[in-house]
Structure 1
Amino acid sequence: MNIPFSPPFIDQSVIDQVLDTLQNKWITSGPKVKALELEILKLTGSKAAVCVNSWTSGAIMMLKWFGIKEGDEVIVPAYTYCATALSILHCGATPVMVDILDDLTIDPLKIKQAITSKTKAIIAVDIAGLPCHYEAINSIIKDPDINQLFNPETDKQNLLGRILLISDAAHSIGATYRNLPAAVKSDITIFSFHAVKNITTAEGGCICLNLPEVFDNTEEYNFLKMFSLNGQTKDAFAKSMGANWRYDIIFKGLKINMPDICAAIGLAQIRLYNDHLLPLRKKIAMKYCHKLKMFNWFIHPILKDKTRESSYHLFPLRIKNITEADRDQIIDFLVSRGINVNVHFIPMPMLSYFKSIGYKIEDYPNSYKQYACEISLPIYPQLTDEEVNYIVENVIDGVNIKANKSKLLEVVS
């Protein structure tokens, strides 16, 4: 058996949407992008949604929008993909890394301890699809003592009057917080539509705005659409409508717009998401938990608690009492059996570039601890019961072989 890690969901509705785009002969930003933005608004309950060509470019744009620059600090978890911190570095600012909780999300207490007069924003990361503890984080950034440290230097910063909260929701489209879309718990939520995500546009992302009432979210949407197209007053679709060729460049923008040919894939998928694709992901996650819960080496991932429910983007299997080397050997065994797995994530301080600029994994002990015992198992709508059973059987065999039939594999009575 050969089981891929995360193939995209491509059914006839996806093919039909892409063919419709090709047949209409409009493939760059146009009506499909707008339709996808409207579907995202319905799914997330957000006030505005701007589709872009990647999570990373969307994050860079929003940091620049807020005026993040050299000398500023942005707090991030050490346990995330490199793009979270690279977006800050591309603005000339400093990522301030903090450790995580056992549920893999950023530790609010560590956030509070890291805030200085240079802190302009926090990027909280919803690892595996589980929302961060947004009520705790919002309480921190709205604390009067913390607000006294905030040093606004731009119009946007003065208008907000506090630290900006950005959700790195690359994994968490469809996740909920107190039965509401988790996206509404941050000022700005940025999704990824990369090929392995719950909803994909091959490459792409979306910025959702839920700014406080002192902002006009519609006005900010219009500004960001121009910002994502070189600061140009008209996009190509608008310019194509008759004698409408004249445009202007009114500020130094970026070129990060999403094309219709990509939006078509996501448009078909998002219309199936709540009723079909997301429930299938949840069903697979529940199967994994049911089949593995009898083993005392299994660390049950938090998929749902009193306030939060995951989008089931990843199934982060963690195994008690193993080393990083043990974990790697179990992965090798699974791969030898035709099961493609992954690890989410190598903490940023372990990566060469971040080590070269001074970050040390020793400063983030829980990030390393969680990474060293984590294996991301396949979880996607096309996965069959037979494949799930095969994966579970081989996970058990892999742990058993590594443990050499030790007490690690004792069944919980």
Structure 2
Amino acid sequence: MKIPFSPPFVDDDVLKEVADTLRSGWITTGPKVKALEQEINKLTGCQQTLCVNSWTSGAILTLKWLGVKAGDEVIVPAYTYAATALSVIHCGATPILVDVLPDFNIDPAAVAKAITAKTKAIIAVDIAGLMCDYDRLKEIVSAPEALAQFNAESDVQQKMGRVMVIADAAHSIGAKYKHLNSGVCADVNIFSMHAVKNITTAEGGAISLHLPASFNAQEVYELMRLWSLNGQTKDAFSKSNGSGWRYDILFDGLKVNMPDICAAIGLAQIKKYNHNLIVERKRIAQQYEAYFTSRSWAQLPILKDEHRETCYHLYALRIVGITEIERDEMIAHIVKLGVAVNVHFLPLPMLTTFKNKGFDIKDFPVSYDNYAREISLPIYPQLTTEQVNFICSAVEDSYHTVKASEKIA
């Protein structure tokens, strides 16, 4: 049996939506993108959503809109994909890395210690679809000591009046935090719609706004839309519909818009997300939980607790009492048995570009421990009960094989 790690969900509805776009004669940013934005608004309850061509683009756009520049600092967890910190670097600012908790998410206590007069934002990462403690993060940035040293240097920062809380919600569309949907728990919430995500547009991202009352979300959306199209006052779809050719470039914008041909894939998926796709992901996660809960060597991920429910994006299993090398040996054995698995993620201080910036993994012990014992198992709607059973058996067989060879050695 061969089981891939995370193939995209493509059914007849996806094919029909894409074909409809191709037949329409309009494949770049247009009505399908707008429709997807509106569906994300409905799914999350956020104020406005702007679709872009990647999570990274969305983060860079957001930070530039905020006015983040050279000399500024943005706090990010050491345990995340590189794009979280790279988006800060691309704005000329400095990422300040902090450790995480055993649930994989950013440690609020570490955040509180890291805030300085240079801090402009925190990017909290919802690893595997389990959301961070956003209430605690907002308490920290609103505390008198944080407010006293906040240095507003742009109009947006002045309006915010504090450090902005940004959710790296790349994994968490459909997740819950205190009965709220991912998309409304931070000031700005950025989703990924990359090929392996719960809802995909092949490549893509979405910026969902849930800003304080001092902002007009519609105005921010319109400004961000300009940002995504080179700062141009009139997009191609408007010009093609008879609004005239003449345009202006208002500022140094980016070119990060999502095309309709991509939005069509996500549009077909999001319409069945709550009643189908996420239900199937939950079914698989619960099957894993039922199997591994009796294995003393398995540390199960949190699927649901008092305040949160994941969206079942990843099943991040950790193995008790093994080393990083043994974990890699387990993965090699699982793959040999026909199951593709993954690791989420290599902590940033273990990557060359961050090592060269002076970061040392020894300063982030929880991040390293989480990483060194983690194996991400396949979880997607197409998996059958038989396939999940096979995956479970492959993991167990690999564990006992590695442990047996260790005793022999």
| TM-score bracket relative to the smaller structure | over 0.9
Aligned to 1:171: 171
- Deviation for aligned residue 1:391: 0.3
Residue 169 of structure 2 contacts residue 182 of structure 2 at CA under 8 Å; is this kept in 1? Answer: no
CA distance in 2: counterparts of 1:380 and 1:294, whole angstroms: 23
SS where residue 317 of structure 2 aligns?
strand
Q: After superposition, what is the alpha-carbon deviation per residue over 1:101-157, rounded to whole angstroms, capped at 9, x for unaligned?
A: 000000000000111111110000000000001111111011112110101111111
Aligned to 2:53: 53
- Deviation for aligned residue 1:276: 0.1
Aligned to 2:256: 256
Aligned to 1:287: 287
- Deviation for aligned residue 1:242: 2.1
2:194 pairs with 1:197: no
CA distance in 2: counterparts of 1:143 and 1:391, whole angstroms: 47
Aligned-partner residue type, residue 13 of structure 1 = D
Aligned to 2:277: 277
SS where residue 23 of structure 1 aligns?
helix
Moved segments of 4+, more than 3 Å: none
CA distance in 2: counterparts of 1:260 and 1:281, whole angstroms: 27
Residue 63 of structure 2 contacts residue 88 of structure 2 at CA under 8 Å; is this kept in 1? Answer: yes
CA distance in 1: counterparts of 2:234 and 2:385, whole angstroms: 50
2:231 pairs with 1:234: no
SS where residue 241 of structure 1 aligns?
helix
Aligned-partner residue type, residue 73 of structure 1 = E
Aligned to 1:411: none
SS where residue 240 of structure 1 aligns?
helix
Comparing 69-78 and 242-251, the one that deviates more: 242-251
TM-score (norm 2): 0.98
Quick one: structure 1 residues 406 and 289, their matched pair in 2 at CA, closer, same or farther if it must change by over 3 Å?
farther
How many residues matched? 407
Q: After superposition, what is the alpha-carbon deviation per residue over 1:163-192, rounded to whole angstroms, capped at 9, x for unaligned?
A: 000000000000011112022110000000
CA distance in 1: counterparts of 2:219 and 2:117, whole angstroms: 29
- Deviation for aligned residue 1:243: 5.2
Q: After superposition, what is the alpha-carbon deviation per residue over 1:215-244, rounded to whole angstroms, capped at 9, x for unaligned?
A: 000000011111100001111100101252
TM-score (norm 1): 0.97
Residue 64 of structure 2 contacts residue 91 of structure 2 at CA under 8 Å; is this kept in 1? Answer: yes
Aligned to 1:132: 132
Quick one: structure 1 residues 406 and 287, their matched pair in 2 at CA, closer, same or farther if it must change by over 3 Å?
farther
Aligned to 1:14: 14
- Deviation for aligned residue 1:405: 9.0
Aligned to 1:27: 27
CA distance in 2: counterparts of 1:176 and 1:243, whole angstroms: 42
Quick one: structure 1 residues 34 and 366, their matched pair in 2 at CA, closer, same or farther if it must change by over 3 Å?
same
Aligned to 1:395: 395
Runs of 5+ unmatched residues, structure 2: none
Task: Please report the RMSD computed on the Cα atoms of aligned residues, expressed in angstroms.
Answer: 1.0
CA distance in 2: counterparts of 1:345 and 1:161, whole angstroms: 33
Quick one: structure 1 residues 248 and 229, their matched pair in 2 at CA, closer, same or farther if it must change by over 3 Å?
same
CA distance in 2: counterparts of 1:355 and 1:395, whole angstroms: 32
Aligned to 1:185: 185
Runs of 5+ unmatched residues, structure 1: 408-413
Aligned-partner residue type, residue 12 of structure 1 = D
SS where residue 208 of structure 1 aligns?
strand
Aligned-partner residue type, residue 375 of structure 2 = I
SS where residue 95 of structure 2 aligns?
strand
SS where residue 184 of structure 1 aligns?
coil
SS where residue 375 of structure 2 aligns?
strand
Residue 197 of structure 2 contacts residue 313 of structure 2 at CA under 8 Å; is this kept in 1? Answer: yes
- Deviation for aligned residue 1:62: 0.4
CA distance in 2: counterparts of 1:238 and 1:172, whole angstroms: 33
Q: After superposition, what is the alpha-carbon deviation per residue over 1:326-370, rounded to whole angstroms, capped at 9, x for unaligned?
A: 000000001001100000000010001110111110110110001
SS where residue 220 of structure 1 aligns?
helix
Aligned-partner residue type, residue 330 of structure 1 = M
CA distance in 2: counterparts of 1:175 and 1:406, whole angstroms: 39
Aligned to 2:92: 92
SS where residue 95 of structure 1 aligns?
strand
Aligned to 2:348: 348
- Deviation for aligned residue 1:406: 9.2
Residue 75 of structure 2 contacts residue 95 of structure 2 at CA under 8 Å; is this kept in 1? Answer: yes
Percent identity over the alignment is 59
Aligned-partner residue type, residue 17 of structure 1 = E
Aligned-partner residue type, residue 242 of structure 2 = G
SS where residue 317 of structure 1 aligns?
strand
CA distance in 2: counterparts of 1:406 and 1:178, whole angstroms: 44
2:78 pairs with 1:75: no
Aligned-partner residue type, residue 22 of structure 1 = L
CA distance in 2: counterparts of 1:387 and 1:91, whole angstroms: 44
Aligned-partner residue type, residue 334 of structure 2 = L
SS where residue 267 of structure 1 aligns?
helix
Quick one: structure 1 residues 146 and 337, their matched pair in 2 at CA, closer, same or farther if it must change by over 3 Å?
same
